[in-house]
Amino acid sequence: MPKLLFIPGSLRAASSARATARTLAGVIAAEATAAFADIGALPHYNADVKDDPAVAAFIAAVGEADGVVFVTPEYNYSIPGVLKNAIDWASRPAFASVFKGKPCLVISVSGGALGGVRAQGHLKYVLNGMLATVHPSREIVVPFANDKVKDGVLEDQAIVDFAVATLREFAAGL
């Protein structure tokens, strides 16, 4: 069974990114194991910092995963700084990091009508720069995401069904 690492791009416990990740992981639990990264535990990126246990744990989690599923909100037309910080930690050494060749799936959420498409584009650009393998698929976006979360679960069945079909395709290729 493939092991997926979900990386929600928000620190807020009740965020739509976390709710979306939890929902999708729950739906495919019989087909893939899911782990969740805590990117809030990472220090600000600084190449002078060596041997940080939170950084080592994050890099190990990415390395152990068969595939990484990013669920990012859109902040000011891009990805959150905390998500970029996590990626920066795991992207070293350049062109030979744990992300090199790592299968990745990108999902975005937004409180607005566009569902985070700009953040999704930026994240895919960053992942390509690290030589990650971004899963080619139709974009999974969750517009008006905050209105679609009830009790910590994404409740838009059409979006869940669409996302799960792509997630199953992604997991089957790992």
pTM flag (> 0.95) = yes
CA nearest neighbour of 74 among 141, 6, 166, 129: 141
Q: pLDDT per residue over 45-99, tens digit each?
A: 999 999 999 999 999 999 999 999 999 999 999 999 999 999 999 999 999 999 9
142 and 110 Cβ atoms separated by less than 8 Å: yes
Domains of the chain with bracketed CATH? 3-172 (3.40.50.360)
The radius of gyration of the chain from alpha carbons, rounded to an integer in Å, stands at 15
CA nearest neighbour of 146 among 8, 11, 16, 19: 16
* CA 52 and chain centroid, separation: 22
Q: pLDDT per residue over 107-141, tens digit each?
A: 999 999 999 999 999 999 999 999 999 999 999 99
Q: Residue 106: pLDDT band by 50, 70, 90 thresholds?
A: very high
* CA 110 and chain centroid, separation: 14
